[in-house]
A = this chain, B = another copy of it.
Amino acid sequence: MGVRFGILGAGRIGLVHARAISSVAGADLVAVAEPFEEAARAVQAQFGCDIRTIDEIAASDDIDAVVICTPTDTHADLIEQFARARKAVFCEKPVDLSLARVKACLKVVAEEEAVLMVGFQRRFDPDFMALKAVIDDGRIGNVEMVTLTSRDPGAPPAEYIKRSGGIFRDMTIHDFDVARWLLGEEVETVQAAASVLTDPEIAKLGDYDSVNVILTTASGRQCTITNTRRATYGYDQRIEVHGSKGSVAAENHREANIQVANGQGYTRPPLLNFFMQRYATAYANEIAAFVAAVAEGAETATTGQDGLMALALAEAALKSVQEARAVKLSEILA
């Protein structure tokens, strides 16, 4: 029999995961918990699952694992509740916006010996996996420089930005995780620059919309991250890794694989505009990996520690901007 799931939260990302669970062999969606009755009923109708409260799911004998898709400020509490309830837990990033709270939460997870996977879906993108395989096969030799370009099509609403923890914790955090995944050793130093270039409202909220970060490891490997909140040509997601024997790069995804030529030149369509469309396969792969880990009792591909480290890098970047200096990650983790 497969892994039996409860989903907490039936918003946009909850639906993505519900669909993933339904289509993965060896997984069953048993129940959803969602305060908005209409949303809950929609999930019930589409996937044929029960509607239960969070506490009912925690107490359910017929549920092995949960996917936490509730608002960020509930994540840490829910992880602890379900770790104690002996359910395997998949939680959307971040565990919490406070590093101290994350540490406390992971302590509970460790004490309970619970399974916790934190959602960093990019690691499960087929192109990025192929890029990682090239590195792991030794085809580019030793990794020396990683270049990550991530640009959103547009900034989120002010309400979202207010509660986001800022661009480093909300957007760059994905790049921090990818950087750790690809660099092959932990980051030692963080240097960052940050500006507001697209919308002065973002400055009023105390946030930035345009940032660059340099990460350096103990052996001198470096990673640069470029983020902006506005790219008119779509959702720009590129990785380039330079090594001692060569380089490997993953390219963007376009709306269609065509090009039109005329007197103005050769034009290919813009990029896919929406992260859920761009990473649709990654989200499905991610849940499949969680299901496989739970079924086999194996370690999850991304862990609570990964969530902690990405958040620590975000804090280091923010501190680097604020203090105009290189910040050691050890200062943050101490």
Complex interface: chain B residues within 8 A of A197 (CB): 142, 144, 219-221, 244
Complex interface: chain B residues within 8 A of A140 (CB): 260, 262
Pair B233/A261 contact, Cβ less than 8 Å: yes
Q: Mark A244-279, 1 if CB is under 8 A from B, else 0.
A: 111111111111111111111111111000000000
**A216 touches B (CB below 8 Å):** yes
Complex interface: chain B residues within 8 A of A259 (CB): 248-249, 251
Complex interface: chain B residues within 8 A of A245 (CB): 232, 262
Pair B221/A256 contact, Cβ less than 8 Å: no
Pair B264/A265 contact, Cβ less than 8 Å: no
**A108 touches B (CB below 8 Å):** no
Complex interface: chain B residues within 8 A of A261 (CB): 231-233, 246-249, 270
Q: How far is the CB of A308 from chain B (nearest CB, A)?
A: 24
Q: How far is the CB of A168 from chain B (nearest CB, A)?
A: 15
Q: How far is the CA of A154 from the CA of B259 in the complex (A)?
A: 21
Q: How far is the CA of A263 from the CA of B253 in the complex (A)?
A: 15
Pair A250/B257 contact, Cβ less than 8 Å: yes
**Which chain B residue shows the least CB distance to A270?**
B265
Q: How far is the CA of A246 from the CA of B234 in the complex (A)?
A: 10
Complex interface: chain B residues within 8 A of A220 (CB): 195-197, 210
Q: How far is the CA of A253 from the CA of B268 in the complex (A)?
A: 15
Pair B144/A257 contact, Cβ less than 8 Å: no
**Which chain B residue shows the least CB distance to A248?**
B260
Complex interface: chain B residues within 8 A of A210 (CB): 144-145, 220, 222
Q: How far is the CB of A84 from chain B (nearest CB, A)?
A: 37
**A285 touches B (CB below 8 Å):** no
**A302 touches B (CB below 8 Å):** no
Query: Would A233 and B263 be within 8 Å (CB), given that A145-B226, A248-B258 are in contact?
Result: yes
Q: How far is the CA of A193 from the CA of B325 in the complex (A)?
A: 11
Q: How far is the CA of A242 from the CA of B267 in the complex (A)?
A: 15
Q: How far is the CA of A11 from the CA of B262 in the complex (A)?
A: 31
Selecting from A26-34, A126-134, A286-294, the interface stretch reads A126-134
Q: How far is the CA of A192 from the CA of B195 in the complex (A)?
A: 17
- Candidate in A126, A147, A195, A247 with the most chain B CB atoms within 10 angstroms: A247
Complex interface: chain B residues within 8 A of A260 (CB): 134, 139-140, 246-248
Q: Mark A98-133, 1 if CB is under 8 A from B, else 0.
A: 000000000000000000000000000011001100
Q: Could you list 11 A-B pairs, sorted by A, with CB under 8 Å?
A: A126-B256, A127-B257, A144-B228, A191-B193, A197-B220, A210-B222, A231-B247, A233-B247, A248-B261, A265-B270, A324-B325
